[in-house]
Structure 1
Amino acid sequence: MASGINVGDWRAILVLVFFLFSNAAVIFPVRIPVPHTILSKARAALVALGIVTPRTEPLKRAFFPLNFISAPLLSVLVLLASGAINGAVVRDGIVGANGVKPLDIMALFISLAYLSISLDATGLLRFLAFWVVQKGGSSGRKLFTSLYAFFLVCGVIVGNDPVILSGTAFLAYLTRVSGIVNPTAWIFSQFAAANMASVVLVSSNPTNLVLSGAFSLSFTTYTAHCILPFLGAAISVYPILILGLFRSRDLIPRSINLDPTVVDDMGDTLVDKKGAIFGSALLLVTLSVLVGTSTIGVPVWEVTVPPAVVMLLRDTHHDWARRSRILRNGVQTPQAVHGGTDRTKFDGPVILRGEIEVENLSVPFVSRSYSVQEEQGRAPMTLSTIATKYTHRFSTTFPTVTAVARRLPISLLPFAFLMFILVQGLSTQGWVEVLAQWWAAWVDKIGVLGAIGGMGFIACIFCNVCGTNIGATILLARVIQVWISGGTGESLNPRSREGAIYALALGSNYGAITLTFSASLAGLLWRRILQQKGIHVRPMQFLRINFLIALTAMLVSSAVLVGQVYVIYRNN
């Protein structure tokens, strides 16, 4: 693994500095005040160009955010301008290099995300959650156990993000109507279950997609290696939750007195029964085809993008047919739609579009139309007023499509591409090779236990310091690639090699439940939804509770993985 690259070169140092700066901005986002002079000149320029309308009120104070998108983007631009990286690095970070194809990975991720979120918009996950509550009865511990198992199953099938989106708001509502003053046990167990379960299928987490691409892992091979470690973690974490962290009756009451009307009305949560059936069948068929074709070299995006387009077309047709029905009947609000199958109608504890709201909502479906004369009568026509008019018209005509689109993790796309570019920059400047040398020395000294335990530990920690688990996985996957390509010592041992790869898979998923909210985008999303529901989780509380959960899950999963690689490669 010897190299002539000098990491003491100014370009290498600059790339490392801006990589660390980007990660720091993810962990500690800041807002920089924009001077009033710049704001006023920018406003005047936009008015002169006809982009926005002139205003008489004084400009409000504005801030420029340095966050998980702007900081990596700024870093890439500075590195390009300075010559520390070139266009080839940017191209490899987007198109792909070393077996990792970011475009394919993101196409697969966003298409599966659309399928999962659209299915969730039908109310299916909430309907199933209420069904679990109904079966749980009045026993607090039985209900807790049922919901823990339910979130594990859902996390395996649809991934952690849909479970976080729907499950968090559902639990906020459930604990409120059941009289549970402190929802800590319920929200933390759901967060742990969702992030542990997302390790099982390649499609359940973008970090898994990065790994499968980097090491050419088929879906069946990946799942075969991860299923037993996951089961070990899920089983071992349960007593930690119910007998250790949350044994107080204030957290998990002995009995729960739930209003019977809440469960009796659970049928209202399934707002689109036909859509739920169609979406479930489409998602299951898609996952089955992914598994079946993963061994014959079919690009994964070719399997997932067509079903996502089919689901989009189905949602569009659903919205258009409802609009035509409403206009034909002269109805202006969704309450008049008969049958309770309108996805914009949510009676009781259900959600609507955009941000999840577990409450009664009544959103107008068809608003009055706009005319150019009306707009011109109120204010000059500008790009912003035109965009607002047509955006509003589209959202009222296609509310389901709009709601799903708003919940898609679109912000993950630029973030992931920028992190791919920065890691590619580290690689071209020699930093990845340095890390690979350190890793090789560690594994050569400790062996299989060091490969599995060390990579699992490093992955969990790096999730908190490398711009979420996405950044950690991209970097560590490249380190393992370089280590394996060196072809000496323990890198030739299939136990150490395979153990390190799947330990990274475990650590990149479990790392979300370790130290900080920013260890994963799911953690940031989870905190935001809870804040909207009036539930505030302190950073130290997050660390204190999740650390024990993650430690237990990682130790047990690593032990299972060690035994697994010795059994699989018993002759090596």
Structure 2
Amino acid sequence: MVQAYVSSNSEQFTGINDWKSIVTLVVFFLTNLTIIFPFRVPLPKVAVSVIHFGLVKCRVVPHTPEPLRQQYFPVNFLTAPTIAVLSLLACKAINSSVLRLGILGADGVEPINIMALFISLAYLSISLDTTGLLRFLALWVVKRCGSSGRKLHLYLYLFFLTCATIVGNDPVILSGTAFLAYLTRISGISPPTAWIFSQFAAANMGSVVLISSNPTNLVLSGAFSLSFATYTSSVILPFLAAALIVYPFLSVVLFRSTVFIPPRIELSGNDAEGGIDHPSSALSDKTGAIFGSILLLVTLGVLVGTSTVGVPVWQVAVPPAAMMLSHDIWRDWRCCRAHWSVSQEQQVEQVGLPSPTTVHAPVELRTLPPSASQLDVHKPGNDSKPRWTLSSLLSTFIYRYAQMLPTAHAVFQKLPLTLVPFAFLMFILVQGLASQGWVHVFAGWWETWVNKTGVIGAVAGMVIGSGLLCNICGTNIGTTILLARMLQKWESLGKPVATDVRYASVYGLALGSNYGAFTLTFSASLAGLLWRNILGQKGVHVWQSQFAQMNLGTFVIASLASGTVLIGQMLVVHHRDDR
């Protein structure tokens, strides 16, 4: 099939059978396979010892009298794409032009712009979360439900849907997952399967509504010049259909047993972690919560209002993020100064007073600032000849920074910064496929498919296909980058593309790339990897087989509901345009 397509389009590109093309494709899929199944490679002890000796001599790390433990090199979603890009550069399968286009962007997809918008909105959302607002709202919802287990399950489902719509799936995963682990523990719900899987599905369905709620939406909006208003108006009804159909499936079919959702639950209101009876105890910074809420809502409103006039989105999102950062620094500095003043007053009095009053960290931050022992800070008197090293200086700096600016430190710890190099590397790999003609081939396959199946095939193929591809194409971000490039190439093949088929393809990809997070593997999205890690830290272990078993039916139901509405919506819009 590849040969036939190549021969019929040889005037547009050549060399698909060149070894560079084959190597690029193989490396791309091996990279994605590694992202799904990460592993560690043991490093030779001799090499580790030699490297450690050199680092000690250069005063990078301190000398340790204990024997060195076995060291491993992780091959994961960061190192595997890095190795892939470097390998392709070394064998000249890709060149500096591909590297530049993968970073700066091409055909309307601007990675730097997308990442600037994503990190800015992520900072706004996570900083708002550190004020305790999401925990406060969740506790408020729990209190309103009384002792009814079914009502609480429904209210939390709606709550997570709403929060994910506004702030995106990452803050909901970060804060909501830990909250559910706490809630199910104090209420005696075991296993917490129904609650955590419903939250995961709700978070990733809600993230489809706004362009700003998921990096995949940002990629699509850049690739096809979609305004905020146009995008949201096109996906809101399919999302609502999925949200309405999925909940009965979860509560009546998948989790119908009272073991999963007990009819009555008893909550302890005096638990030290939250206080069900007093939700306001979780709101650690009321002023910051109000300021952050207004700033986030204004930012989203301005993004919607300016999306039709060509203002770069990063110019709208970066200033509010800088304002929120300044607010966090100012708040931390003020609290730190107050703490220093109290300490100095007590030292001057030199009487038997209690220990200095400490600045109470917000509920969301209490476990975040690392201790001095964790940071390997050198304490005078530990040895007779203290020696500074680069690692000790860096650890001391980080420790003092965490103590002086706990809010900013906590937000930066939670920021999905690893997404930035990962996304750039995936952009480069997909650009490599495009430079070798593979995206052109995939576009030809898609053209053949939609020509035979029409609008219904376009929706079904893109929603289901993109959702499943998230499991083998480097998470839903890698899938969106690849398929967006494919659709762009499909539009430029020469034949006119029908408006309704284009509409179905683009918004089918929007739905599938978001819903693909709850399909078969944790690595279908970075949110899935984050969700699993948080649950593991809280003592809740979810196995890969359980993840696939619980999610696949939800994905099918959500895809069918949204796809059906998208087809009907597209037919109405197309019919109106024809008139």
Q: Same fold (TM over 0.5)?
A: yes
Paired position in structure 2 for 1:544: 549
Q: Deviations over 1:79-101 (max 9, x none)?
A: 11111100010010001111100
Paired position in structure 2 for 1:43: 52
1:174 paired with 2:208, answer: no
- Distance apart, 1:253 and its partner CA: 0.7
For structure 1, the residue ranges without an aligned partner over 5 or more in a row are 356-362
Cα distance between partner residues in 1 of 2:147 and 2:467: 37
Paired position in structure 2 for 1:93: 102
- Distance apart, 1:334 and its partner CA: 11
Cα distance between partner residues in 2 of 1:549 and 1:364: 42
Matches within 5 A, 1:369-448: 379-448=386-455
- 1:495–1:565 Cα contact (<8 Å) kept: yes
Describe the SS at the equivalent of 1:31: strand
Alignment-mate amino acid for residue 381 of structure 1: W
Paired position in structure 2 for 1:68: 77
- 1:168–1:187 Cα contact (<8 Å) kept: yes
1:156 paired with 2:165, answer: yes
Paired position in structure 2 for 1:309: 322
- 1:177–1:258 Cα contact (<8 Å) kept: yes
Matches within 5 A, 1:98-113: 98-113=107-122
Against the structure 1 CA distance between its residues 290 and 562, is the aligned structure 2 distance closer, same or farther, given a 3 Å change threshold? same
- 2:378–2:392 Cα contact (<8 Å) kept: no
Matches within 5 A, 1:138-287: 138-261=147-270, 262-287=275-300
Cα distance between partner residues in 2 of 1:9 and 1:242: 53
Matches within 5 A, 1:484-499: 484-488=491-495, 492-499=497-504
Paired position in structure 2 for 1:352: 366
- Distance apart, 1:52 and its partner CA: 1.4
Cα distance between partner residues in 2 of 1:274 and 1:106: 29
- Distance apart, 1:354 and its partner CA: 3.8
Cα distance between partner residues in 1 of 2:378 and 2:267: 50
Cα distance between partner residues in 1 of 2:237 and 2:548: 26
Alignment-mate amino acid for residue 125 of structure 1: L
Determine which of 82, 85, 109 is the counterpart of 2:91.
Answer: 82
Q: Deviations over 1:274-324 (max 9, x none)?
A: 110010000000000000001100000000011001100100000000000
Q: Deviations over 1:192-217 (max 9, x none)?
A: 00000000000000000000000000
- Distance apart, 1:165 and its partner CA: 0.5
Alignment-mate amino acid for residue 122 of structure 1: T
- 2:132–2:362 Cα contact (<8 Å) kept: no
Cα distance between partner residues in 1 of 2:367 and 2:267: 27
Paired position in structure 2 for 1:360: none
1:6 paired with 2:15, answer: yes
Cα distance between partner residues in 1 of 2:368 and 2:323: 21
Alignment-mate amino acid for residue 511 of structure 1: G
Against the structure 1 CA distance between its residues 125 and 537, is the aligned structure 2 distance closer, same or farther, given a 3 Å change threshold? same
Against the structure 1 CA distance between its residues 129 and 335, is the aligned structure 2 distance closer, same or farther, given a 3 Å change threshold? farther
Cα distance between partner residues in 2 of 1:49 and 1:233: 59
Describe the SS at the equivalent of 2:209: coil
Q: Deviations over 1:363-399 (max 9, x none)?
A: 889x9xx999769955311111111111111111001
- When normalised by structure 1's length, the TM-score is 0.94
Alignment-mate amino acid for residue 55 of structure 1: T
Cα distance between partner residues in 1 of 2:214 and 2:378: 45
Against the structure 1 CA distance between its residues 376 and 364, is the aligned structure 2 distance closer, same or farther, given a 3 Å change threshold? closer
Against the structure 1 CA distance between its residues 282 and 345, is the aligned structure 2 distance closer, same or farther, given a 3 Å change threshold? closer
Describe the SS at the equivalent of 1:32: strand
Paired position in structure 1 for 2:143: 134
Over the aligned positions, Cα root-mean-square deviation in angstroms equals 2.0
1:500 paired with 2:496, answer: no
Matched residue count: 553
- When normalised by structure 2's length, the TM-score is 0.92
